[in-house]
């Protein structure tokens, strides 16, 4: 076992040797194990449950920042982690202590015995156990895959369900159309519950609204119950009875406008149904301070930036589907208009992703692509194959052995400041943050 592994991380790796690491949609295994632990999922603080294809993590990050700015204690369960497994479990605002995580893992493993279960399910049970045993005012829980049959959906009640934008991804599990995928996402909506719906394409929206109606849920929908726009360098979020005049979100990219607005409406709805105070000043502070690594994240310091020509800028984005690529391109095109620099992609992707459609939006924007392995996954596309995909959509592409080698290649071939985006995989993003010396905290 590598000496850098903590006790809890070593225990998780041992679990992965005994249980499959992927997804196996269904709730029966979760219900069995939770019952053996006295149903901690029924003893959680009020929950905001977030599903969607894109923007889940950013919306959770905005909600957390707003809630903490209002003085609330917040538990957060997200996935995947980038550098350390502990990132998945934030207990009342702080990443879980290794001893606390190790103890919870031991108890969950003992309760499960040798019954069949996935590692993701085990870790979700760990999150529920930790959240039930530590006081907080709010739980933010991100769906792992889909929603209806995702293991987080054993939660019987939630203060607010949130559906962020739905697009094609994980089609083998969720279906091959936005409507089918939206049906799975909308499965988190609870009977007579509250649901905030971010902007959606028409077929997805129709499906989500049908599911909400079947559940008798109260709907807060973008474009009907609230409107968001940027005006004079401010984010305006308008409802029928209130106008939120807010700073632009700290997180980069035009898509973060809608994610921030979704979070504002989620926290407004949470405050109304729970009787919690979320003052306007907390909304402002939350948008200014929200942090969500590897989502159009500027790497303004660290070991990797130092490899590029002086004056260059380095960005990191773990988005891995065509919608994420389009959003990255919107941001980069705007940045290019304001501050022109040659743009180079360093890309690594998994073989479960639509690599062709991911590269297509970059065709008229990027000088070249350097493809690299994804070292923390055995499902990475070989760099030679990924380069051929990029070439097929009209991009100039070559390969490198790793990210450091790619950055060195760029520095050797460019004598002016450049803009580099490392992209295509959250697994690759985690490796980059570790190499750069800037892991999430």
293: which 2 tokens? 């690594």
Confidence at 1, pLDDT banded by 50, 70, 90: very low
Q: Find tokens 């942090």 and name the residue.
A: 291
Rg (CA), the chain: 21
**Contact partners, residue 4, CB within 8 Å, separation at least 6:** none
- The pLDDT tens digits of the residues spanning 40-56 come to 999 999 999 999 998 99
Residue 229, pLDDT > 60, answer yes
Beta strands in 355-401 (DSSP E): 368-371, 397-399
What's the first-to-final CA gap in the chain, in angstroms? 24
Q: In the structure, what pLDDT confidence band is assigned to residue 173 with cuts at 50, 70 and 90?
A: low
Contact 144, 65 (CB under 8 A): no
* Percent with pLDDT over 90 in the chain: 89
What gap in Å lies between CA 208 and CA 179, rounded to an integer?
8
**Beta strand 419-423 with 297-298: parallel, antiparallel or unpaired?**
unpaired
Q: How many CA atoms lie within 13 A of 147 on its CB side?
A: 25
| Banded pLDDT at 5 (limits 50, 70, 90) | confident
How far is residue 350 CA from its own chain's centroid? 17
Choose among 60, 52, 49: nearest CA to 292: 60
pLDDT score of 2: 40
What pLDDT score does 139 carry?
Answer: 98
The residues near 110 (Cβ < 8 Å, ≥ 6 apart) are none
Instruction: Collapse the DSSP code of 299 into the 3-class scheme (helix H, G, I; strand E, B; otherwise coil) and give the result.
Output: coil
Of 12-26, 88-102, 109-123, 212-226, minimum mean pLDDT range: 12-26
**Res. 169 pLDDT band, cuts 50 70 90:** low
Asked whether residue 249 carries a pLDDT value surpassing 50, the answer given is: yes
Of the candidates 256, 190, 258, the residue with the CA atom closest to the CA atom of residue 221: 258
Confidence of residue 253 (pLDDT cuts 50, 70, 90): confident
Average pLDDT, integer, range 345-349: 97
User: Per-residue pLDDT for 176 more than 80?
Assistant: no
| Predicted confidence band of residue 172 (pLDDT cuts 50, 70, 90) | low
- Residue 140 CA, distance from chain mean position: 12
DSSP codes of every residue in 22-34: S----SHHHHHHH
Mean predicted confidence (pLDDT) in 305-319: 95
Neighbours of 409 (CB within 10 A): 18
Identify the pLDDT of residue 25.
83
Higher-scoring residue by pLDDT: 99, 2: 99
User: In whole angstroms, what is the distance from residue 343 CA to residue 417 CA?
Assistant: 10
Per-residue pLDDT tens for 126-164? 999 999 999 999 999 999 989 999 999 999 999 999 999
pLDDT of residue 315: 97
pLDDT for the residue numbered 168: 67
Maximum alpha-carbon separation in the chain: 63
């Amino acid at each position: 076992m590598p000496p850098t592994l903590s006790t809890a991380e070593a225990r998780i790796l041992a679990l992965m040797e005994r249980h499959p690491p992927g997804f196996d949609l269904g709730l029966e295994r979760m219900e069995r194990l939770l019952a053996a632990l006295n149903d901690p999922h029924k003893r959680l603080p009020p929950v905001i449950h977030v599903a969607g294809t894109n923007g889940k993590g950013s919306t959770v990050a905005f909600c957390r920042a707003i809630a903490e700015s209002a003085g609330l204690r917040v538990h957060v369960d997200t996935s995947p982690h980038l550098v350390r497994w502990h990132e998945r479990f934030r207990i009342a605002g702080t990443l879980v202590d290794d001893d606390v995580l190790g103890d919870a893992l031991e108890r969950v493993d003992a309760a499960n015995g040798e019954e069949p279960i996935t590692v993701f399910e085990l870790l979700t049970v760990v999150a529920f156990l930790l959240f039930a045993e530590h006081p907080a005012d709010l739980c933010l829980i991100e769906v792992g895959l889909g929603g209806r049959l995702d293991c987080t959906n054993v939660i019987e009640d939630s203060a607010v369900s949130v559906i962020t934008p739905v697009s094609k991804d994980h089609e083998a599990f969720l279906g091959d159309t936005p409507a089918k995928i939206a049906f799975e996402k909308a499965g988190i909506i609870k009977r007579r519950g509250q649901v905030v719906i971010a902007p959606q394409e028409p077929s997805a929206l129709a499906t989500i609204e049908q599911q909400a109606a079947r559940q008798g849920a109260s709907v807060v929908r973008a474009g009907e119950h609230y409107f968001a726009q940027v005006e004079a360098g401010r984010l305006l979020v308008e409802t029928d009875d209130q106008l939120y005049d807010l700073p632009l979100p700290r997180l980069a990219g035009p898509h973060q406008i809608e994610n921030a607005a979704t979070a504002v409406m989620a926290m407004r709805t949470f405050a109304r149904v729970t009787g919690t105070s979320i003052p306007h000043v907390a909304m402002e502070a939350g948008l200014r301070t929200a942090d969500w690594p590897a989502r159009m994240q500027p790497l303004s310091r660290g070991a990797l930036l130092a490899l590029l020509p002086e004056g260059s800028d380095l960005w990191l984005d773990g988005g891995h589907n065509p919608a994420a690529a389009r959003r990255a391109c919107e941001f980069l095109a705007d940045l290019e208009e304001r501050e022109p620099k040659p743009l180079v992609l360093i890309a690594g992707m998994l073989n479960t992703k639509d690599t062709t459609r991911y590269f297509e939006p970059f065709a008229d924007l990027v000088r070249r692509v350097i493809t690299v392995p994804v070292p923390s996954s055995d499902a990475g596309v070989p760099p030679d194959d990924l380069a051929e995909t990029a070439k097929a959509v009209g991009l100039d592409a070559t390969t490198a052995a790793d990210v450091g080698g790619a950055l060195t290649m760029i520095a050797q071939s460019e004598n002016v400041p450049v803009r580099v985006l490392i992209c295509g995989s959250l697994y690759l993003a985690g490796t980059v943050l570790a190499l750069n010396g800037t892991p999430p905290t």
